[in-house]
Amino acid sequence: MAGLARAGFAGLGLVQEDLAYILSHEAHGANRRARLEWMREIVDREGIEIVELEFLTNWMLPPDDARRQMEQPMRDLLMEAAPILGVSHIKIGNFGLPASVQDLRSRFAEICDEAAAAGARIGMEIFPIDPNAQTLDQALEWCGDNPNGGLFLDVWHVSHAPRITFEDVARLDKSLLVGVELDDGWLPTPEENAILNGPDGLGFAETTLNMRRLPGQGNFDIVGFVRAVVGTGFSGPWGNEILSEEFRRLPMDVAYPRVVRAANEQLDLALSPAFQPS
């Protein structure tokens, strides 16, 4: 965590498996609350201002569904940890389960209420494979009117979503955005896309979890995305999610400064009045 702060990061994101591992194997304290308080002491000492927790995927299912019940202990952990760690937001998403608008609205409101009681906000991350969020308008139909929830946008997913444009992003009200992430990658040609997503291809999970690059090292229009987000009036938090098999091999003292430098270069480009797209 100290390496994050030294590199220039003001925030920290933890998936539930990371959090559970730290509490079980690294944290000090006689019980879970004491161990969470130990973590909070480190967060404060290192100057980390923003803490993000993630990632729930079965929240839209009925309470008696076995998949939601299996996820419930992790949901409970995130809600318990949020007030102790000073969590700003909890990310959720949908990896492809269809649901009715009525069910989505009801269960999104439910988890938003849980998070509000824990002092955090819910960020609904938009995925290209989410059948209930193929457009921003479709997503906002069920998650756009809750004061304790909103959209979480990652340039990776927005760039891969065929029915979401930067113009759509720019039309959003800033109150609807909980957070934004920057990374980069390679948008395939139609022929390449057919291979990647075909029966023998890598598919969504493999490319998303292992093939991202630092901002500016792919062919995403990072500057256009940033300008669209800034056009809403959004001012942060900006995060990075470099899910890359190659990047994971780097030592932390090398990896962290590279991310900060790459992200800041793209932000500076986007916010420079002298910038002219090529």
| pLDDT at 5 (0 to 100) | 87
DSSP β-ladder status, 121-125 and 89-92: parallel
Token reading at 167: 């113009």
Task: Confirm if 89 and 121 have CB atoms less than 8 A apart.
Answer: yes
Give the dihedral sign, CA 73/96/91/1. positive
| pLDDT at 121 (0 to 100) | 98
Task: Confirm if 55 and 15 have CB atoms less than 8 A apart.
Answer: yes
| pLDDT at 266 (0 to 100) | 96
| pLDDT at 278 (0 to 100) | 46
Q: How many H-runs (helices) and E-runs (strands) does the chain carry?
A: 12, 7
Is pLDDT of 277 > 60?
A: no
Residue 236 falls in which region: left (phi positive, over 0), alpha (psi -120 to 50) or beta: left
| pLDDT at 1 (0 to 100) | 74
Higher pLDDT, 187 or 119: 119
pLDDT tens digits for range 15-70: 999 999 999 999 999 999 999 999 999 999 999 999 999 999 999 999 999 999 99
pLDDT tens digits for range 5-15: 889 999 999 99
Distance CA 25, CA 23 (A): 6
How crowded is the C-beta side of 172, counted as CA atoms within 13 Å?
31
- Name the one residue in this structure whose structure tokens are 């927005």: 158
Is pLDDT of 239 > 70?
A: yes
pLDDT tens digits for range 147-206: 999 999 999 999 999 999 999 999 999 999 999 999 999 987 777 777 666 776 777 888
| pLDDT at 274 (0 to 100) | 62
Is pLDDT of 252 > 50?
A: yes
Detail the DSSP E strand segments found in 89-183. Answer: 89-92, 121-125, 149-154, 177-182
DSSP codes joined into one string, 16-58: HHHHHHHHHHT--SSSHHHHHHHHHHHHHHTT--EEEEEEES-
| pLDDT at 206 (0 to 100) | 86
Phi then psi for residue 150, to 5 deg, are 180, -165
| pLDDT at 89 (0 to 100) | 98
Token reading at 100: 């009715």
pLDDT tens digits for range 192-224: 777 666 776 777 888 899 999 999 999 999 999
- C-beta neighbour count of 237 within 10 angstroms: 18
DSSP β-ladder status, 177-182 and 238-240: parallel
Q: Give the model's confidence band at 276: pLDDT under 50 very low, under 70 low, under 90 confident, else very high.
A: low
DSSP β-ladder status, 11-15 and 149-154: unpaired
Environment class of 122 (CB within 10 Å of its CB; exposed 0-12, middle 13-18, buried 19+)? buried
Task: Confirm if 240 and 234 have CB atoms less than 8 A apart.
Answer: no
pLDDT tens digits for range 71-106: 999 999 999 999 999 999 999 999 999 999 999 999
